[in-house]
Amino acid sequence: MSASQLYFFRDGIHTHLVVPSAALLRAIPELEAQLKGATWARIGWGDYLYYGSTQQSLMLGLRALLLPTRATIAVLGIHDINARTSATSRAYSIETNLGTIEAVVTFVSRHFKLDRQNQPIKVRDKPCGEVFFHSRGIYMFINTCNNWTSRGLRIAGLRCRPLLNFFPGQVEQSVRRNGYLPMP
């Protein structure tokens, strides 16, 4: 695992990008508290009310898909990639270069909405350490977390069609078509 590596995570209906935390901290040093001591930063994007909520009801899910809503971006510090995979998740290691990592981190950092003091605006956190922030962008059925993750993967050099990747399986198929297999 090197600093010129990134990861794609699929966990159920959600997808994430995982970048070296040092690269993300260079772009957004204000995340130091969330990433303290972590080697990796797992980042996801989703509906403001649904994503990360303890009350993920069917009504909130339908609202997120059917109505344009505000978005949130999630950050989770990871110490060991293998420890973050479970029976319901899959991780893919994508070998790249430092310039590409910086481009993906720039893409991610541009989605953080900042307050007047240029600080990310915290929305909520989960007991597992995942922290949610206000994000730029509108979430809707034609602009989901899976489209967002696909955009990041395309910046990383993978051939994929972000506009057509609505479902997590479509994003995962794009990663596989680029020659990557899930980690054991």
Across 97-110, average pLDDT:
96
Rounded to whole angstroms, how far apart are CA atoms 172 and 181?
Answer: 10
pLDDT given at position 2: 56
Across 35-42, average pLDDT:
95
pLDDT given at position 83: 76
**Mode of pairing for the β-strands spanning 40-47 and 131-139:** unpaired
pLDDT in tens, 114-154: 999 989 999 999 888 899 999 999 998 888 999 999 999 99
pLDDT given at position 6: 95
Q: Is 138 exposed, middle or buried (0-12, 13-18, 19+ CB in 10 A)?
A: middle
**pTM listed for this prediction:** 0.91
Structure-model confidence comparison of residues 69 and 111, the more confident one: 111
